């Protein structure tokens, strides 16, 4: 007789709203390919007031782990037993691993970004970095860039968002002893001549606002500037088109997305997924 085991291994994502989160497409394609036939990725809408109960539910269901997305990445930290060092600096957790009832928080957004950079042959060590935005993605990226030895980080951010920008500055300057600058983004931004890497960490260009792009002077992009977007959908944004038109090397947010998802799978299952298959599953799903 065949072995009869119908017990599901559960992971997933808590968010609100969360219905457009593509995690399930990418992760379940990898589970299938890895032969993990009883692994399920659940997309779960959890309102902010229910987060504590949702974490209790995660433990009661013996889920292997969970991703957290907006608005839970910061709030969830108070329910965890431990938080990885880089996630502490970032101040946000996007991946939780259930280690036999002990919940440990990680931030794979920044790590996924760094692997994508490495895959593009770009090393941020001793580089001058400009990051547009000061939200969760900018925070994760700037902390990882700092830990990787960047020589300078400039955060370009809207005036209305100043408190969040100030707290990021404090992490970079005080905790990580980084040479960091803050620019109030009140007018068209000129990218400095000595910048090596430019990152769009705003949602500008994300579906459905696919024609939007950051308000920068694109004629200040030099050929030897490396340009990186965080937007995975669509992968080719107007921001990247401007960079390409000026001869810059660039990479879309797809690399970050697939690498952070691959890291999640490795943390939860101990197995290494095929990333090209995950990208294909995502592209097939979004059309």
Pick the binder of ligand NDP from 114, 153, 172, 231 (CB under 6 A).
Answer: 231
Q: How far is the CB of 136 from ligand NDP (least distance, A)?
A: 3
**Strands lying side by side in the sheet with 197-200:** 180-184, 152-157, 128-132, 197-200, 226-229, 249-251
Q: Is the peptide bond before 203 cis (omega within 30 degrees of 0)?
A: no
53 versus 284: smaller Cβ distance to ligand NDP: 284
Pick the binder of ligand NDP from 115, 136, 182, 265 (CB under 6 A).
Answer: 136
What residues are paired with 228 via a beta bridge?
199, 251
Pick the binder of ligand NDP from 11, 256, 263, 265 (CB under 6 A).
Answer: 256
230 versus 265: smaller Cβ distance to ligand NDP: 230
Q: How far is the CB of 159 from ligand NDP (least distance, A)?
A: 8
DSSP string, 52-113: HHHHHHHHHTT-SEEEE-TTSTTGGGGG-SEE-HHHHHHT--SEEEEETTEEEEE-HHHHHH
Q: Which two tokens stand for residue 60?
A: 């009661």
Q: Which two tokens stand for residue 137?
A: 């993605």
161 contributes a contact to ligand NDP by CB under 6 A: yes
Tell me how far CA of residue 208 lies from CA of 58, 141, 200, 237, in angstroms. 32, 24, 17, 12
Pick the binder of ligand NDP from 16, 40, 88, 158 (CB under 6 A).
Answer: 158
Q: How far is the CB of 133 from ligand NDP (least distance, A)?
A: 3
| Closest to 94 (Cα-Cα) out of 75, 68, 58, 72 | 68
Q: Please pick, among 73, 127, 152, 275, the residue that the annotation labels catalytic.
A: 73
75 contributes a contact to ligand NDP by CB under 6 A: no
253 contributes a contact to ligand NDP by CB under 6 A: yes
For residue 195, the SS3 value is: coil
Q: Which of residues 3-62 bind ligand NDP (CB under 6 A)?
A: none
**Is 88 annotated in the active site?**
no
With b for 16 or more beta-carbon neighbours within 10 A and e for fewer, the 17-49 pattern comes to: ebeebbbbbbbbbbbeebebeebbbebbebeee
Q: Interface with ligand NDP by CB under 6 A: which range of 8-16, 172-180, 238-246, 255-263?
A: 255-263
Interaction mask 91-120, ligand NDP, x per CB under 6 A: ------------------x--x--------
Q: How far is the CB of 230 from ligand NDP (least distance, A)?
A: 4
105 versus 112: smaller Cβ distance to ligand NDP: 112
User: What distance in Å separates the CA atoms of residue 6 and residue 189, rounded to the nearest whole number?
Assistant: 56
Tell me how far CA of residue 163 lies from CA of 99, 155, 169, 171, 266, in angstroms. 35, 13, 10, 13, 35
User: What distance in Å separates the CA atoms of residue 187 and residue 127, rounded to the nearest whole number?
Assistant: 25
Q: How far is the CB of 16 from ligand NDP (least distance, A)?
A: 14
Pick the binder of ligand NDP from 257, 263, 278, 281 (CB under 6 A).
Answer: 257
Q: Which two tokens stand for residue 106?
A: 């990680």
Catalytic residue numbers? 73
Residues that bind ligand NDP (CB under 6 A): 109, 112, 133-138, 157-158, 160-161, 185, 201-204, 206, 230-232, 253, 256-257, 260
């Amino acid at each position: 007789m065949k072995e009869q085991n119908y017990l599901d291994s559960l992971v997933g994502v808590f968010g609100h709203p969360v219905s457009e989160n593509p995690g399930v497409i990418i992760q379940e394609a990898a589970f299938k390919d890895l032969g993990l036939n009883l692994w399920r990725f659940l997309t779960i809408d959890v309102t902010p007031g229910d987060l504590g109960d949702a974490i209790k539910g995660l433990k009661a269901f013996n889920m292997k782990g969970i991703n957290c997305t907006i608005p839970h990445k910061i709030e969830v930290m108070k329910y965890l037993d431990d938080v990885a060092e880089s996630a502490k600096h970032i101040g946000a957790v996007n991946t939780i691993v259930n280690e036999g009832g002990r919940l440990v928080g990680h931030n794979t957004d920044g790590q996924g970004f760094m692997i994508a950079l490495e895959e593009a042959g770009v090393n941020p060590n001793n580089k001058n970095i400009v990051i547009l935005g000061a939200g969760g993605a900018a925070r994760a990226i700037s902390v990882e860039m700092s830990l990787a030895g960047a020589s300078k980080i400039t955060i370009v951010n809207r005036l209305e968002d100043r408190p969040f920008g100030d707290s990021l500055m404090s992490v970079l300057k005080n905790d990580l002893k980084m040479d960091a600058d803050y620019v109030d983004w009140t007018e068209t931004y000129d990218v400095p001549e000595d910048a090596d890497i430019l990152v769009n960490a705003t949602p500008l260009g994300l579906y459905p606002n696919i024609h939007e792009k950051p308000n920068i002077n694109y004629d200040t992009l030099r050929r030897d500037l490396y340009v990186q977007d965080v937007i995975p959908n669509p992968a080719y944004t107007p921001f990247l088109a401007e960079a390409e038109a000026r001869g810059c090397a660039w990479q879309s947010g797809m690399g970050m997305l697939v690498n952070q998802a691959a890291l999640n799978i490795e943390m939860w299952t101990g197995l290494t997924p095929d990333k090209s298959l995950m990208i294909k599953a995502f592209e097939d799903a979004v059309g």
